[in-house]
Copies of this chain bind each other. A is one copy, B any other.
C-alpha cells in the first residue's frame, strides 16, 4: 500500500514531466509541486533533500518560479534562512501561468507576425499573395486569443467557469 510520501512523490514526478512538456523545466515544476502540496513554507535545504537535487539547482528553480510570480520568499523573524511558499489557489495559479505564457510566447509571436505583415505589404504585391493571407489569418487568430484572454483576466478567478457555462447555455438556447 502506498504511503503518503510515495503518493506525494508520484504527483511531484508527474508534475515535473508535465512541466517539461510545457516548456518549464522539470526541476522547476517539481519544486512548484512540492511547495503546492506542502502545508508550510519550506527552506532551500528541505527542498534539496526532498527532491534530491543540488543546492544550485534549487536556487535556480526558485529564482525562476519567483520571476513567474508563482513562489514567494518569506523572511521569518528570528530565522536566518529564507522560506518559500507558492500560490495555493488553483485558479489563481492558472491565471498566473496563462499570463506568463502569453508574455513569453504569444506576445513575441504577435510582434513577429505584425512585422512580417508590414514587410509583406511594403513589397511588390505581385508575389506573396498566399503567404500574406495565411500570415494575416495567423495574426488574427492570435489577436483574438489575446482579446479573449484580456476579458477573462479581468474576471475573478473561478468566475471563468461560470462564465463559460453561461456562454454555452446561451448558445444552446439561441440555436
Contacts and interface: CB of A to CB of B under 8 A. Distances in A.
Interface string A122-145: 110001101100110110110010
Nearest to A36: B134
Interface string A105-137: 100110011001001101100011011001101
Contacts of A8: 131
B171 A112 contact: no
A49 interface: no
Interface stretch (A59-67, A68-76, A77-85, A86-94): A86-94
Contacts of A159: 171
Nearest to A23: B21
Complex copy number for this chain: 2
B151 A168 contact: yes
Contacts of A128: 4, 7
Interface of A: 1-4, 7-8, 10-11, 14, 18, 20-23, 36-39, 88-91, 94, 104-105, 108-109, 112-113, 116, 119-120, 122-123, 127-128, 130-131, 134-135, 137-138, 140-141, 144, 148, 151, 155, 159, 161, 163-164, 166-168, 170-171
A interface majority secondary structure = helix
Nearest to A13: B112
Contacts of A119: 1-2, 7
B171 A170 contact: no
A116 B7 contact: yes
Contact of A167 (B91, B141, B166): B166
